[in-house]
Amino acid sequence: MSSSIQSNLETILTTISGYECTLVAVSKTKPNELILEAYDAGQRDFGENKVQDLVAKAEVLPKDIKWHMIGHLQRNKVKYIVPFVHLIHGVDSEKLLKEINKQASKIDQVINCLLQVHIASEDSKFGFSEDELNELLVSGRLNEYAHVSIKGLMGMATFTQNMEQVGEEFARLKKVYDQYDMQTLSMGMSGDYLLALEKGSNMIRVGTAIFGKRNL
Ligand SMILES: *Cc1c(COP(=O)(O)O)cnc(C)c1O
């Protein structure tokens, strides 16, 4: 028997099959039964945006799931998440990076992180400006954070129907990404993942198109 989640996944995997990319299934607000449906279809990367939810799910769901923290992360919650998280997407300040490094060192781990870059025209979205990012990356200060491994960049486009604007924002982030030796460029969601892939993304974060609308 195949559920709608499984057929949604199949459709997306077919659509993106020409691209080298990781699909992160964004399971925020969704119950464990639905996550297991996707898991049973072979999905292993899942994204959550709340620390409590990620920890609660990670504790009971299969241990080979890779948990992605995709939301804004508060420094006082970092300690709860480091034992469980595979990749933190939204590192948006050096203070947060410092705290991740501190908590990761306590449990003797290296935590994979993406630096979030502010590419949207709204100022509500978090992230480094391109100038701040360049300053940090060329400063050499990242070497001080031995328990953090910067894998790449993450960005969120403006919330708009104007796909030309969204495409330009993705292209700008790709250009920044190409200036550095990095592995992961996380951009693209349900409404724009194909456009993001065309612009050079290699990690997409898709919730609604897999699990349906969220009520919360
Ligand atoms: C919720 C969320 C997504 C997934 O959004 P959908 O439109 O449901 O695919 C992706 N990235 C981040 C950072 C999110 O918070």
Does any domain span residue 216? no
- CA 174 from centre of chain: 15
Alpha-carbon span 118 to 167, nearest angstrom: 15
Which pTM does this prediction carry? 0.96
Ligand 1 centroid to residue 44 C-alpha, Å: 17
Pocket residue to mutate for ligand 1, from 12, 24, 26, most atoms within 8 A of Cβ: 26
Does any domain span residue 188? yes
Whole-angstrom CA distances from 13 to 19, 23, 62, 112 are 10, 8, 22, 25
Total domains, the chain: 1
For residue 189, the enclosing domain spans 4-211
Ligand 1 centroid to residue 26 C-alpha, Å: 6
Structure tokens at 169: 């924002």
Kindly report the CATH number assigned to the domain that includes residue 70.
3.20.20.10
Does any domain span residue 103? yes
Q: Read off the pLDDT of residues 161-195 as tens digits, 9 standing for 90 and up.
A: 999 999 999 999 999 999 999 999 999 999 999 99
Q: What is the pLDDT along the chain (216 residues), one digit of tens a residue?
A: 467 999 999 999 999 999 999 999 999 999 999 999 999 999 999 999 999 999 999 999 999 999 999 999 999 999 999 999 999 999 999 999 999 999 999 999 999 999 999 998 887 778 999 999 999 999 999 999 999 999 999 999 999 999 999 999 999 999 999 999 999 999 999 999 999 999 999 999 999 999 999 986
